[in-house]
Structure 1
Amino acid sequence: MDNQKNKRSLIIFFILCAFIAIGFYNSWKDEIALNSDSKMTIGRVTDFKYSSRNGHIDFKFYVNGKLYETSDPDNSEWPKYVRTAKAIKNKFYPVEYEVTNPKNSKILITRKPLGIKALLKDGLKIKAKVENIYEISDSYADLYITYDYLEGKFKFRTRIHKDSLPCGTIDSCQQKEIDLIILKDFPDVNNLYYLSYDRVAMKKSKEQKN
Structure 2
Amino acid sequence: MFFGRLRKEIQAVFDRDPAAKSVLEVLLCYPGLHAIILHRIAHFFYRHRFFLVARLISQFARAITQIEIHPGAKIGEGLFIDHGAGVVIGETAEIGNNVTIYQGVTLGGTGKEKGKRHPTIGDNVVISTGAKILGSFKVGENSKIGAGSVVLKPVPPNSTVVGVPGKVVIRDGEKVGTAGVSIIDLRHDLLPDPVAEAMYAMQKTIERLEQRVAELEKQRSKPE
- The bucket for the TM-score relative to the shorter chain is under 0.3
Select the structure with the greater relative contact order (CA < 8 A; seq sep ≥ 6).
1
Q: TM-score, normalised by structure 2?
A: 0.23
Structure (1/2) with the larger strand percentage = 1
